[in-house]
Structure 1
Amino acid sequence: MTLDQFIINFILPVLALGIILAFARLARGPDLPDRVISLDLMASLIICLAAAYSIAADEPAFLDAAIVLSLVVFVGTVAFAYYLRRRRNADTDR
């Protein structure tokens, strides 16, 4: 079994299953932090999916897209943490 076959037959379906489970958590999550964490997980799994497909298809352009997506996800996570901090500080000031 070559690396390409292993990625296509095992890695990509496992990542797809992870995305489905993270989406189920997104739909079920009781509060906002749970939903944001599941969105962050889904984005990370999509980045992994793009990287694995890039290796299997020998197409390096997908790695560039994965890097850009990871930077956007990082900025979103930092912005959400800043929002939670400001919200907590506003609640304690009252």
Structure 2
Amino acid sequence: MKCVFMCVILVIMGGSTWAQDTCSSSLSSLNVCTPFVVPGSTGNPSSDCCGALQSVSHDCLCSTLRIASRIPAQCNLPPFSCPN
């Protein structure tokens, strides 16, 4: 499921500019964090996950989250609401 989500994000973020390519590449490195973001996960993120997250620029991560939050509306679905 996480791989599918990352693939959607990579397709959305896809483009020919260097910044978009760099952002997409950085986001793909976050696959090492998969064990820590799936429901039911326990424990702390690995050092590989923390390093990958640190390498993603703030702008790239925020832009990706904004784009991901718009996907439900673009699919004619109600917005997602997540409890704290």
TM over 0.5, shorter chain: no
Higher helix share: 1
The TM-score, its normalising length taken from structure 2, stands at 0.42
Higher-Rg member (1/2)? 1
